[in-house]
């Protein structure tokens, strides 16, 4: 835990004082992104201390050849790696010929870094005393434009404080970069053209194997005081590097400034043979506007995002900072503009998880995007899976399934499975269920049924086919069983009849059947098109139904709870609170076999099912299952505390709900899991949003109506959030004495407050 490191502030993440040991953690926390590219908060100037360099381009990856001890048939050939992309932010600085390097300075004082979430920029300032005795003041500010997502801008300023000095700015591009995480130390980038023209430079490179073409570009302008200077830069070029140097004699207390514009154009959006001209066009537009105008536009773009997605919390500044950090990072990662992109668990903040798509998107992220953006954004996320249906069918075929059964990958970049731990790749099949659930959730929330006949039904059929084929009939149990799986709790592998998986399988089949019927009745031409494609017989449907109706759901009469899996009660049921605390986190202290034999649960498993299918169970059943499973839960997945927070709030255990909330919202800011240097937990940030809106606010959709049961932790004075429900914007404010609901727009809206129906008129306030 790292509680006092980040200064509490409602709109900014602030670090004060330079500490070389914190550089890698801060590089994650202060990361920038704009949905199309992102970067860790690496310094512009050179740094010889410990650092984790990372610039990432959405959708650009490398298939790193699988490396395992013992090959198993069906393993994916590769693991997709998000690539550290060419560096465009670098600006070497020299003062009287000595490089400015914070690791080598005699002193670094007044160091302050700020990530301003309101306006979307990052700044850094410090006073450095170099080995040569020069004292300089440095100020750097940068952002990645939201409006023009191929470009970013940096303003970097040096003021000599104790003497005149010769200052050099050397902005550069560098494609001679590597990944920290590689299986075989392969070279990932092939640079084939390095060029420059006046104050501009370009590096064209393509990824090995995947052949993504990228042009990394930059243009610089320098100023002495306020005056632009038009010196010819000194050029250095080699095969993977180009720099332009600007040198000036600067008087004591005078400021030397560089504006650097840079970024990437990629062949996903441009003709690969004309990337340099595409880059020139981007540069022309951005330099014409200049740093200040771009920064103004950046503030406006973020203001528009915040006006819909902000959550305010009064009376608890750390909670306020935490939730804004989560909302900010989600918007930096994904904006829903491109259906080929998705939300990696680490976004643009690190290499772990390969930047790939997991079930996290459907289970955790969709509710956030559905409620805080136009509903097309959630639909775009669903389409991502529709577009990968053929690949999911091929994936299932590789594992021996047939007849259009679809198994979506646990981890993917392009629809192919690219994760190769057998217990995850082959066994964590519950991901298929989350993809079907997201279709249901989308329809439940938006009321847009058109997605199902147009695209969703084919996905539901592929998934139902998979579950039908994956289950087998046990004569012993006289039921269908699903053997050899890993549930959401990855601390159990190869178990039989994971309750969550079996329950989800049953639901998926029933939901597919229900929708086949509805589409047949109401969308005849879509029905015809789909049936011609999937060739579904009544016999097959009857077989599906037999599985759904007779699936085995492990249950303990003794405890009156569903069992996480067969044999769960054979474990030594010692609760987490009785564990020696020095053993936590168990995934960093215990051998894997020790973990597997223990009863400890990494994240919500049975309770994940109770979260998805809340209406299928009574509050009494939820309470019983929560009380049974939570004491064994170690919450070592970032996805865990949010589900528990929502359920604790539902059970009126506000203290517990609040503790879970803090843990989810400040997981990275306070570095609970001691791993923030690797990157941030982006997808669980959507879970943090759910903890407030669904947990404390109690928001649900019941029979086409929004429903709320507002509660508030005693630590807060008030909180508020907005949701876009079927193109109507509702603002909810909850304080210790009650709740207020305010509707924007032209139409009235009927909602449920504490299960009572009320109608809110447009532009009016309702108090409850
Ligand atoms: C969790 C998975 C999750 C993955 C990516 C793992 O630690 O157990 O449920 O999909 O992280 O966030």
Task: Please give the tally of structural domains in the chain.
Answer: 2
CATH code for the domain of 170: 2.70.98.40
Task: Note the pLDDT of residue 71.
Answer: 86
- 283 with 382, same domain: the answer is no
Distance from Cα 684 to the centre of ligand 1, integer Å:
9
639 ligand 1 Cβ < 6 A: yes
CA distance 168 to 241: 18
Asked if residue 39 is part of any domain, the answer here is yes
Residues 490, 492, 675, 742: which is the catalytic one?
490
Please work out whether the CB of residue 389 comes within 6 Å of at least one atom of ligand 1: no
Rg value, the chain, Cα: 27
The answer on 281 and 379 residing in a single domain is no
Q: Looking at the domain assignment, is residue 709 inside a domain?
A: no
Residue 561, ligand 1, Cβ within 6 A = no
Distance CA 339, CA 440 (A): 19
| pLDDT recorded at residue 181 | 86
Cβ–ligand 1 distance for 345 under 6 Å, the answer yes
- Asked if residue 280 and residue 379 are part of one domain, the reply reads no
Q: Is 215 exposed, middle or buried (0-12, 13-18, 19+ CB in 10 A)?
A: buried
CA–centroid distance, 637 to ligand 1, in Å, is 6
Helix spans in 524-665 (H):
524-534, 538-549, 586-589, 592-597, 606-612, 619-629, 640-650, 654-665
Q: Can you tell me which residue has the tokens 């908060």?
A: 41
- Domain residues for the domain of 433 are 374-392+421-602+609-630
pTM comes to: 0.97
Contacts of 20 (CB under 8 A, 6+ apart): 49, 50, 102, 103
Minimal-distance CA residue to ligand 1 atom 7:
637
**Residue 543: per-residue pLDDT:** 98
Structural domain includes residue 108: yes
Q: Give, for ligand 1, the residue of 82, 329, 358 to mutate: max count of ligand atoms closer than 8 Å to Cβ.
A: 358
Q: Tell me which H or E stretch contains 461.
A: helix 457-470
Q: What is the pLDDT of residue 3?
A: 67
Counting from 1 in the atom list of ligand 1, the atom nearest the Cα of 602 is 8
Model pLDDT, residue 46: 97
Q: Does one domain contain both 237 and 383? A: no
Spans in the chain with pLDDT lower than 70? 1-3
256 plus 378 within the same structural domain = no
Pocket test for ligand 1, best of 80, 492, 639 (most atoms within 8 A of CB): 639
Same domain for 45 and 177? yes
In short, whether 687's Cβ falls inside 6 Å of ligand 1 is no
What are the tens digits of pLDDT across the range 547-598? 999 999 999 999 999 999 999 999 999 999 999 999 999 999 999 999 999 9
Residue 603 Cβ inside 6 Å of ligand 1? The answer reads yes
* Cis bond upstream, residue 661 (ω within 30): no
Residue 109 lies in a domain: yes
Give the model's pLDDT for residue 2: 65
Please name every residue paired with 109 in a beta bridge, in sequence order, or none if there are none: 127
Mutate to test the pocket of ligand 1, among 490, 600, 633 (most ligand atoms within 8 A of CB): 490
Q: Annotated catalytic, 232? A: no
pLDDT at 637: 93
pLDDT in tens, 102-121: 999 999 999 999 999 999 99
**Three-state DSSP class for 648?**
helix
271, 388: one domain: no
How many Å from the N-terminal Cα to the C-terminal Cα in the chain? 39
- Please tell me the distance from the alpha carbon of residue 362 to that of residue 149, in angstroms, as a whole number: 25
Q: What are phi and psi of 240, to 5 degrees?
A: -135, 20
Residue 654 lies in a domain: no
């Amino acid at each position: 835990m790292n509680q006092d490191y980040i200064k509490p502030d409602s709109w900014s993440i602030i670090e004060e004082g330079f500490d070389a040991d914190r550089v890698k953690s801060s590089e994650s926390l202060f990361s920038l992104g704009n949905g199309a590219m992102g970067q860790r908060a690496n310094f512009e100037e050179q740094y010889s201390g410990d650092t984790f360099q990372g610039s990432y381009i959405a959708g650009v990856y490398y298939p790193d050849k699988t490396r395992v001890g013992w090959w198993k048939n069906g393993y994916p050939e590769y693991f997709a790696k998000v690539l550290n992309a060419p560096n465009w932010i670098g600006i070497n600085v020299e003062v009287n010929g000595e490089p400015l390097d914070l690791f080598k300075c005699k002193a670094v004082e007044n160091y302050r870094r700020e990530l301003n979430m309101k306006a979307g920029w990052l700044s850094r300032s410090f006073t450095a005393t170099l080995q040569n005795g020069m004292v300089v003041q440095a100020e750097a500010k940068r952002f990645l434009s939201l409006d023009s997502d191929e470009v970013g801008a940096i303003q970097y300023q040096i003021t000599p404080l104790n003497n005149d000095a010769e200052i050099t700015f050397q902005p550069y591009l560098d494609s001679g970069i590597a990944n920290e995480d590689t299986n075989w130390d392969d070279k990932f980038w092939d640079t084939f053209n390095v060029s420059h023209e006046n104050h501009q430079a370009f590096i064209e490179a393509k990824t090995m194997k995947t052949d993504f073409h990228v042009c990394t570009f930059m243009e610089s302008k320098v100023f002495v005081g306020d005056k632009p200077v038009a010196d010819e830069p000194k050029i250095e070029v080699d095969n993977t590097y180009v720099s332009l140097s600007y040198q000036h004699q600067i008087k004591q207390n005078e400021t030397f400034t560089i504006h650097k514009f840079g970024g990437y154009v990629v062949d996903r959006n441009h003709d690969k043979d004309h990337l340099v001209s595409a880059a020139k066009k981007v540069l022309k537009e951005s330099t014409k506007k200049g740093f200040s105008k771009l920064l103004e536009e950046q503030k406006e773009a973020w203001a528009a995002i915040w006006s819909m997605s902000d959550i305010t919390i009064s009376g608890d500044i750390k909670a306020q900072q935490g939730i804004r950090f989560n909302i900010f990072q989600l918007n930096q990662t994904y904006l829903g503009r491109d259906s080929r992109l998705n939300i990696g668990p680490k976004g643009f903040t690190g290499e772990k998880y390969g930047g790939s798509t997991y079930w996290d998107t459907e289970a955790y992220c969709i509710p956030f995007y559905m409620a805080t953006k136009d509903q097309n954004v959630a639909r775009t996320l669903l389409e991502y899976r529709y577009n990968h249906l053929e690949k999911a069918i091929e994936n299932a075929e590789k594992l021996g399934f047939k007849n259009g059964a679809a198994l979506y990958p646990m981890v993917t970049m392009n629809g192919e499975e690219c994760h190769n731990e057998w217990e995850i790749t082959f066994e964590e099949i519950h991901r298929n269920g989350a993809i079907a659930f997201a279709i249901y959730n989308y329809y439940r929330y938006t009321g847009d049924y058109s997605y199902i006949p147009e695209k969703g039904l084919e996905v539901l059929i592929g998934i139902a086919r998979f579950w039908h084929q994956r289950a087998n009939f046990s004569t012993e149990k006289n039921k269908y069983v699903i053997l050899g799986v890993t549930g959401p709790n990855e601390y159990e592998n190869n178990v039989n009849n994971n309750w969550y998986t079996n329950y989800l399988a049953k639901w998926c089949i029933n939901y597919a059947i229900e929708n086949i019927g509805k589409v047949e009745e109401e969308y005849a031409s879509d029905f015809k098109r789909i049936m011609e494609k999937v060739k579904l017989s009544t016999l097959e449907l009857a077989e599906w139904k037999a599985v759904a109706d007779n699936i085995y759901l492990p249950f303990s009469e003794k405890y009156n709870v569903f069992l996480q899996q067969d044999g769960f009660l054979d474990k030594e049921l010692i609760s987490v609170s009785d564990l020696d605390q020095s053993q936590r986190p168990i995934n960093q202290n215990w051998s894997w076999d020790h973990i597997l034999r223990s009863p400890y649960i990494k994240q919500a498993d049975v309770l994940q099912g109770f979260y998805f299918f809340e209406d299928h169970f009574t509050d009494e059943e939820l309470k019983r299952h929560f009380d049974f499973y939570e004491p064994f839960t170690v919450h070592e997945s970032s996805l865990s505390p949010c589900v528990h927070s929502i359920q604790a709030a539902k059970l009126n255990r506000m203290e517990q709900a609040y503790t879970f909330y803090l843990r989810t919202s400040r997981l990275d800011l306070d570095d609970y899991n001691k791993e923030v240097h690797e990157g941030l937990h982006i997808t669980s940030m959507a879970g943090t949003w759910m903890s407030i809106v669904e947990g404390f606010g109690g928001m649900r959709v019941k029979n086409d109506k929004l429903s709320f049961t507002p509660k508030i932790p005693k630590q807060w004075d008030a909180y508020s959030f907005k949701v876009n429900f079927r193109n109507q914007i509702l603002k909810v404010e909850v304080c210790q004495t009650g709740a207020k609901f305010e509707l924007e727009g032209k139409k009235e809206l009927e909602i449920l407050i504490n299960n009572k129906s009320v109608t809110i008129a447009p532009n009016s306030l309702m108090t409850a």
